[in-house]
Homo-oligomer: A and B are copies of this chain.
Amino acid sequence: MEQRFTIVTLGVADLPAARAFYERLGWTPSSFGGDEIAFFQVGGLVLGLFPREELAKDMALAATPPPQTGGFSLAYNARSKEEVDAVLEQAVAAGATLMKAAEEVFWGGYSGYFHDPDGHAWEVAFNPHWPLAEDGSVQIPK
């Protein structure tokens, strides 16, 4: 297995509502998608939004698990502390729930959290130790 993955798929309760939330963050869905699934190009990967019950069926689960926050997170590394505050504010205005206002954290960064309307947690952080390339990608030490 190569050290990579292709898609992060988030289970959602209401696909049009979930897609509209990410559009309010300024994201543009791919034309490849529609009433059944939504995809967003994210660097060389894809973020997918898929109805929770359809995702559970695809996985051959017997039942759709309840929504949950906290089992995993996505992190958006911002380019400055000011951008962290601005993104958290934008997310809340778009319908997210603030979980933790941004604060200085022990590893030397500045970090807060929101969760999207389906409960999926996003960290928004400025990490001075991980410089971002212009395209937003990051390379950490080998």
Question: Which A residues are within 8 Å of any B CB, using their own CB?
Answer: 1-11, 25-28, 30-32, 39-48, 52, 55-56, 58-61, 64-65, 67-77, 87, 90-91, 99-100, 105, 111, 113, 119-123, 130, 132-133, 135-142
Sort A-B residue pairs by CB-CB distance and give the 4 closest, nearest first: A44-B137, A7-B75, A6-B77, A60-B100
Whether the Cβ atoms of A59 and B11 lie closer than 8 Å is no
Copies of this chain, tallied across the complex:
2
Query: Do residues B28 and A3 form an inter-chain contact, with CB atoms below 8 A?
Result: yes
A3 (CB) vs chain B CBs: closest residue: B27
Q: Can you give 18 contacting A-B residue pairs, CB < 8 Å?
A: A1-B91, A3-B27, A3-B28, A4-B42, A4-B43, A4-B136, A6-B138, A7-B123, A31-B141, A32-B141, A41-B142, A44-B133, A44-B136, A45-B138, A59-B123, A61-B69, A65-B68, A72-B72
A44 near B44: Cβ-Cβ < 8 Å: yes
13 additional contacts (CB under 8 A) given A6-B75, A59-B99, A65-B71: A1-B25, A3-B27, A4-B135, A5-B74, A6-B136, A9-B75, A41-B142, A44-B138, A45-B137, A46-B140, A48-B75, A58-B111, A59-B113
